[in-house]
Amino acid sequence: MKNETVKQMPAEVKTRKQFQGVVSSDKMKDTVVVVVKRYFQHPKYKKFISRSKKFMAHDAGNTKKIGDAVTIEECAPISRHKRFKIVS
């Protein structure tokens, strides 16, 4: 058999999810609750719908306060409920 070289494809870099929202709670240590709102059209009925979801995000140093607009990014699990960190 001949020595065949196998070319490996470069691993795809997955982009992390980012959401923009507003801080709704800062009562925990190094954690804030961010409300992310989205506005979309229903696929069948074509009505526009507003939905919101709360995410717990890591805030090292408790720098964010209630009402601050923030961007959160997906990361490795930090605790049982935290899977996001604050980017800005």
CATH number for position 60: 2.40.50.140
Domain-embedded: residue 7: no
Domain-embedded: residue 25: yes
Reported as a single tens digit per residue, the pLDDT across 10-30 is: 678 889 999 999 999 999 999
What is the pLDDT, as a whole number, of residue 14? Answer: 83
Total number of domains constituting the chain: 1
| pTM of structure | 0.82
What is the pLDDT, as a whole number, of residue 1? Answer: 57
How, if at all, do strands 18-28 and 31-41 pair? antiparallel
- 37 Cβ neighbours under 8 A, 6+ residues apart: 21, 50, 51, 52
Reported as a single tens digit per residue, the pLDDT across 48-78 is: 999 999 999 999 999 999 999 999 999 999 9
Backbone angles phi, psi at 78, to 5 degrees: -95, -35
Q: Which residues span the domain enclosing 26? A: 18-86
